[in-house]
Chain A
């Protein structure tokens, strides 16, 4: 690691505390907004409008607008939930697990990775509620004292789901806000307008950077990070139980929790790589989010992609090894049935294309990483799609078989949610420092060895 750093530094050699602070805070406070930001906001804003328009119409007319129907009752909304929650996972892994394991390359990417996690969880949480059909009754999932004396069915994975997503949302929000505090204080001190000072000052809730503050911050950060490690594994694990606890062939595999977690981290790191490439060119941060960062992200993608590929082989092996016709048929159906194109495209994205990541030149090329990140995200979405669709469309009784195809409204809500994500993220990076100032200062201090670590 040390030797490697010398050849491919994570920091520009002339970067000092003052210069870093100046650059990043000016992005928010003084520099003109890049034109590409406005274009991106326009595109994402239009997509977000489509999302809310389609949802509004769905609430008016009903869930029948979507392509979900018996036997494929879960369809797009649940596919999208699993996909979004998966993307959220890398944020926590980068901010927490890489913190505990003291990886220096997390410093410049953890802020937007956390923001990505936060907004992805919001969308992941929205889909099951949309999918309820009568979304205004979603609070039935809460164990609150009520005049019906009804409590949630604790044996149902859907209730576990609710708690998993809710825990994750609370956690991500807390963690992100806490790590923002010192930076908010920096912005407060540097803001020139009265509004800016009050806005960032209020959000900074009195952070003065005293030794006591930092000691408490470090302690809280370590505690939250240690809590995060099990959360990373548990949340998608629990979501996978929605499927695995049932007895539907194609859902009922004990490998689902680790398999889903690996898939989640794969899609999550792909999305971080995607955002890294986009944001560094949008705000001119090529020297802070370096090719070396992309290299590390590419390695993480490759590792988790290989775990996912291994899970594919295990899933197929156990389908065959179970000796059950139904389980074996699921695979015949996935390879040759009506949804076969989804399966084969998934294989191309998640098994074939990711092998390019073995090459350092590919990992260090922003454009190649952007393309691979997109194909990996698509591949992971297709994986969730084929699991949700193929398993239920033909299970035990041929008389109960059927097909479900997404409608235009399904697509509108899915594509639209990308726009919502984009809008939230673009607004976030415009009003918050998109690179963690205090983590970077720590890194600079470490490089200067014994320099002041303010």
Chain B
């Protein structure tokens, strides 16, 4: 009876066994890498907006404060998008014929809000409050990045639970005094008042921050 298996069959088996074991490990590593990559978390996604609004121009060029437009941020869970009237405080006088601003004028004429595309979209099962954060020492920059350097707004942080928890477990290095909340380019870990003092000043209880119900209600 001829041999059914060639000489190399034994090495093929041990290759398959070892390959399978390593394959599983590699598969897990690949899955983790993809899962935490910008592709999956949406870091650097830059959705197209109806008007190519430049935060860079308005914030660092003109020096507008965040709250000039996002008025709800201290009082509401939602930071708020400005009504067209806010745009028109200036643009009824400036660049009144600019092609780029046509949707803004149309919005005013038809009394319909501009349909901005949300850049930072959290899942519906999370509860996030802007008010809770900005009134307790978390600056805009901590989550939104250097918007003063963004000609078109993009997402800069992964917005994963891991990322939320990195601060909820250890908030001190991310706290700023209340007058620096909207400041861009401020490093809360190095500049100003040390985090542990601010933790006391804001009366933040760290053990509450990692309760499930803090973010999932």
Chain A residues within 8 Å of B, Cβ to Cβ: 144-150, 188, 194, 197-198, 201, 205-206
- Per the CB 8 Å criterion, the residue count for chain B at the interface is 17
Residues of A within 8 A of B5 (CB): 201, 206
Among residues of A, the one whose C-beta sits closest to the C-beta of B166 is: A149
With both chains docked as a complex, state the minimum distance between the C-beta of B157 and any C-beta of chain A, in angstroms. 12
* Contact of A147 with B10 in the complex, beta carbons under 8 Å: no
* Contact of A146 with B4 in the complex, beta carbons under 8 Å: no
With both chains docked as a complex, state the minimum distance between the C-beta of A205 and any C-beta of chain B, in angstroms. 5
Among residues of A, the one whose C-beta sits closest to the C-beta of B11 is: A206
Q: Is B30 interfacial (CB 8 A cutoff)?
A: no
Over the window 88-121 of chain B, the binary record of Cβ atoms lying under 8 Å from chain A Cβ atoms (1 yes, 0 no) is 0000000000000000000000000000000000
Cα A328 to Cα B40 with chains together (Å): 56
- Among B10, B28, B40, B160, the residue within 8 A (CB) of A148 is B160
Supposing A147-B158, A147-B162, A148-B161 touch, asked if A198 and B32 sit within 8 A by C-beta, the answer is no
Among residues of B, the one whose C-beta sits closest to the C-beta of A149 is: B162
Cα A144 to Cα B27 with chains together (Å): 12
Cα A437 to Cα B166 with chains together (Å): 59
* Contact of B158 with A149 in the complex, beta carbons under 8 Å: no
Q: For A147, A197, A198, which residue has the most chain B Cβ atoms within 10 angstroms?
A: A147
* Contact of B4 with A206 in the complex, beta carbons under 8 Å: no
Supposing A194-B4, A197-B4, A198-B4 touch, asked if A148 and B9 sit within 8 A by C-beta, the answer is no
Show 13 residue pairs from A and B whose CB-CB distance is below 8 angstroms, ordered by the A residue: A144-B28, A144-B32, A145-B32, A147-B35, A147-B36, A147-B40, A147-B41, A147-B158, A147-B160, A148-B162, A149-B161, A201-B4, A201-B5
* Contact of B4 with A147 in the complex, beta carbons under 8 Å: no
Extra contacts, 9 of them, besides A146-B32, A147-B41, A148-B162 (Cβ < 8 A), are A147-B40, A147-B158, A147-B162, A148-B161, A149-B161, A149-B166, A194-B4, A205-B13, A206-B9
The DSSP consensus for interface residues of chain B is: helix
Cα A188 to Cα B4 with chains together (Å): 10
Among residues of A, the one whose C-beta sits closest to the C-beta of B165 is: A149
* Contact of B13 with A206 in the complex, beta carbons under 8 Å: yes
Chain B residues within 8 Å of A, Cβ to Cβ: 4-5, 9-10, 13, 28, 32, 35-36, 40-41, 158, 160-162, 165-166
* Contact of B35 with A146 in the complex, beta carbons under 8 Å: yes
- Among A150, A198, A205, the residue within 8 A (CB) of B161 is A150
With both chains docked as a complex, state the minimum distance between the C-beta of A426 and any C-beta of chain B, in angstroms. 28
With both chains docked as a complex, state the minimum distance between the C-beta of B16 and any C-beta of chain A, in angstroms. 9
* Contact of A147 with B13 in the complex, beta carbons under 8 Å: no
Residues of A within 8 A of B35 (CB): 146-147
Among residues of B, the one whose C-beta sits closest to the C-beta of A208 is: B10
Residues of B within 8 A of A188 (CB): 4
Residues of B within 8 A of A206 (CB): 5, 9-10, 13
Cα A201 to Cα B28 with chains together (Å): 31
Among residues of B, the one whose C-beta sits closest to the C-beta of A191 is: B4
Residues of B within 8 A of A198 (CB): 4
4 residue pairs, one from A and one from B, having the closest CB atoms: A148-B161, A147-B160, A149-B162, A197-B4
With both chains docked as a complex, state the minimum distance between the C-beta of B18 and any C-beta of chain A, in angstroms. 13
Among residues of A, the one whose C-beta sits closest to the C-beta of B28 is: A144
Cα A201 to Cα B5 with chains together (Å): 8
With both chains docked as a complex, state the minimum distance between the C-beta of A192 and any C-beta of chain B, in angstroms. 10
Cα A206 to Cα B36 with chains together (Å): 42
Residues of A within 8 A of B166 (CB): 149
Among residues of A, the one whose C-beta sits closest to the C-beta of B16 is: A205
Cα A81 to Cα B108 with chains together (Å): 64
With both chains docked as a complex, state the minimum distance between the C-beta of B29 and any C-beta of chain A, in angstroms. 10
Residues of B within 8 A of A145 (CB): 32
Residues of A within 8 A of B36 (CB): 147
